């Protein structure tokens, strides 16, 4: 898994808002959160919390991107249902999850891991093993405000 102090691997992928690339966001902080599966209880609570805090992320100079291995159509439905203004990206080929080292042991889905990336593209925090899925949004916002 990529870790604090390392450059965040670039990617380009299709998502709920069209094509998204990490390099196109250089100059902004980015919260990149991986989650196992759209429409499951934990992942639903997590996206809802990111949606609730999205304006705070923007005020702090950060963009949010959600990633799972679900299809583009599933990501669009998931994003629309919960009102996400940020991109929710499909990593159906598992390339992004692999480059960040967050695929589960079976290689079938991403683990729940959040990366906080600074404006230069360097990982400043890695959040994992939090008790509640929705805590990822709150903790990520705390980390964004530190950089």
Strand ranges across the sheet with 123-128: 18-21, 12-15, 88-90, 62-68, 29-34, 113-117, 123-128
Q: Is 134 a catalytic residue?
A: no
Phi, psi (rounded to 5 degrees) for 34: -100, 140
Q: Please identify which of the residues 43, 102, 123, 140 carries the catalytic annotation.
A: 43
Cα–Cα nearest to 66, from 81, 55, 78, 52: 78
User: Which residues are catalytically annotated?
Assistant: 43
């Amino acid at each position: 898994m990529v870790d604090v102090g390392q450059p965040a691997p670039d990617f380009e992928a299709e998502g709920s808002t069209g094509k998204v690339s990490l390099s196109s966001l250089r100059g902004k902080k980015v919260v990149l959160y991986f989650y196992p599966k759209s429409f499951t209880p934990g992942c639903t609570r997590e996206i809802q919390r990111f949606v609730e805090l999205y304006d705070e992320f923007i005020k702090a100079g950060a963009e949010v991107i959600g990633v799972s291995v679900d299809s583009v159509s599933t990501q669009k439905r998931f994003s629309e249902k919960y009102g996400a203004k940020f991109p929710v990206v499909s990593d159906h080929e598992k390339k992004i999850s692999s480059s960040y080292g967050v695929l589960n042991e079976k290689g079938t889905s991403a683990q729940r891991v959040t990366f906080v990336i600074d404006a230069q593209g360097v990982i400043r925090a890695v959040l994992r093993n939090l008790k509640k899925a929705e805590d990822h949004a709150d903790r990520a916002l705390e980390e964004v405000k530190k950089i």
